[in-house]
Amino acid sequence: MKNKDIGIIGMGVMGKNLAVNIANHGYKVSVFNRSYNFTFKKLVNEPIKNIFPYRSVKDFISSLCIPRCILLMIQSGTPIDDMIKKILPYLNKNDVIIDGGNSFYIDSIRRYNVLKEKSIHFLGVGISGGEEGALKGPSIMPGGNKEAYKIVSPIFKKIAAKYKDTACVKYIGSDGSGHYVKMVHNGIEYSDMQLISESYTLLKYLIGMDNLEISDTFKKWNSGELSSYLIEITSNIFCKKDDKNHFIIDNILDVASNKGTGKWTAQNSLELQIPCSILTESVFCRYLSSLKANRMIASTILSGPKLFIVKDSKKEEIIEDIRRALYLGKIISYAQGFSLMKKASEYYNWKLKFFDIAKIFRSGCIIRAKLLNEIVFSYSENNDLVDLLFTSNFKKIINLYTSSLRNIVILSIKNGISIPIFTNVLSYYDAYRTVNSSANLIQAQRDYFGSHTYERIDQIGSFHTNWLDK
């Protein structure tokens, strides 16, 4: 019977939780999995209201209302292309294929164009919030065919996270724009996590706090301007113990994994020539963490300064410096991410609405934070902002908090504590506010060895000098 509202292919954690979320809102959901895995077997043997499992692609697609809407929640890359090929013979004109995974936006552009020629609608949808968000309400970033979005938008609006009764979903733009925004979201996520981790390092080694004190500090920070999902869960992490009454954090190997989306953001910033140095350095930090064996060797043969814990009389002052530096770092990280999206919007002619994107990020997603309200306000006044750092409120905070960032960078260098992102934030800030940089020497060098020419500040045009002529 063709009465199911939407079909989902892929019954991993995200796929199943989205199916349950949609079903809980009164929609009938057909589900299919490439393999007869544990989750799928459980759905067959222990049915969930409004969820209907199918063993064959043909039966699965035949169960759907027309136009058919099929959400793919499977591994990105080749598996997506293979599944599209598998289901295409059963689809009709104006049916909708939705890729809800972490696909590379260039792949989404290609799929959008290929399916358009076949009169099949395609949506590349960024979904953020992890397994809990998928179940209770994610942040949703749909890009692709606008008519297709109109078909599925009632479902998306029902299942999305809500911020003061506003659904955190909005049509982003054509072809791969939805997955692009999700990619940049993940780049900001990388830098946010690294900034928080470096703050933890400073609290632990510079201030001498134990886990419960660190937990309390993050809990306190979360009640103010730093309020965010990542600060909240960090507070919870530091007080969690295992069944042996040991703090779990102390037994986690310090090697950070990644799924590639941060790397894509870094690569794209290079391609579009936007200096997202904080986001890019955060990716390198994860790579460096994976060199565990090398780091263990280096710790025994490469020397550094002796570590001195801050004196009690100075501790509260330095803790406040760390808090301010963390907030400043978050602001500049978000500013770099939005600058990258601005350039991509121009390059791909997406006409992104940054006001809407910031609103989507306010609930459900991993980088949701109080400071997004200020970003929403800034873009509500002007979608073509040159840079978020130039807005009146952020400008005041940056100028006020910079001295705190300098203090902790200086202290960390003196004590041999690695804080690459805080250091990068300060370096980027100082470079960005420098009127006359050293790039004039680079241009002279390029002209010297390669006759690449240079521009002058006192004359118009391109110039070349015979540097060997005495």
Lookup: tokens for 264: 């894509």
> For residue 36, which amino acid is it?
Y
Packing angle between helix 420-432 and helix 177-201, nearest 10 degrees? 110
Backbone angles phi, psi at 465, to 5 degrees: -115, 140
Lookup: tokens for 353: 């609405």
Q: Is 304 annotated as a binding residue?
A: no
Backbone angles phi, psi at 273, to 5 degrees: 60, 45
Q: Is 25 annotated as a binding residue?
A: no
Q: How far are the Cα atoms of 94, 154, 201, 356, 390 from residue 151, in angstroms, in the given order?
A: 10, 7, 48, 20, 39
Q: Is 353 annotated as a binding residue?
A: no
CB 126 within 8 A of CB 182: yes
Which pairing describes strands 162-163 and 166-167: parallel, antiparallel, or unpaired?
antiparallel
* DSSP secondary structure string for all residues of 259-283: -SHHHHHHHHHHHTT---HHHHHHH
Answer yes or no: 182 catalytic.
yes
The residue count for the chain? 470
Backbone angles phi, psi at 466, to 5 degrees: -85, 90
Q: Is 452 annotated as a binding residue?
A: yes
Torsion of CA 397, 403, 409, 415, to 10 degrees: -140
For 220-255, give one letter per residue: b (16+ CB within 10 A) or e. Answer: ebbeebbebbbbbebbebbbeeeeeeebebeeeeee
Q: Is 45 annotated as a binding residue?
A: no
Q: Is 208 annotated as a binding residue?
A: no
Q: Is 337 annotated as a binding residue?
A: no
Q: Which residues pair with 80 in a beta bridge?
A: none
Q: Is 349 annotated as a binding residue?
A: no
* DSSP secondary structure string for all residues of 410-445: HHHHHHT---HHHHHHHHHHHHHT-SS-THHHHHHH
C-alpha to C-alpha distance for 133 and 146, rounded to whole angstroms: 24
| Candidate list 4, 16, 170, 189, residue with the active-site label | 189
Task: Give the list of residues 6+ apart from residue 382 with CB closer than 8 angstroms, or none.
Answer: none
| Candidate list 28, 170, 182, 330, residue with the active-site label | 182
Q: Is 185 annotated as a binding residue?
A: yes
CB 72 within 8 A of CB 98: yes
Backbone angles phi, psi at 75, to 5 degrees: -60, 140
DSSP designation for 205: I
Answer yes or no: 455 catalytic.
no
Other CB atoms within 10 A of residue 152 CB: 22
Q: Is 259 annotated as a binding residue?
A: yes
Q: Is 130 annotated as a binding residue?
A: yes
CB 4 within 8 A of CB 65: yes
Enumerate the known binding-site residues for substrate: 102, 128-130, 185-186, 190, 259, 286, 446, 452
Q: Which residues sit in the known binding site? A: 102, 128-130, 185-186, 190, 259, 286, 446, 452
Catalytically active residues, by annotation: 182, 189
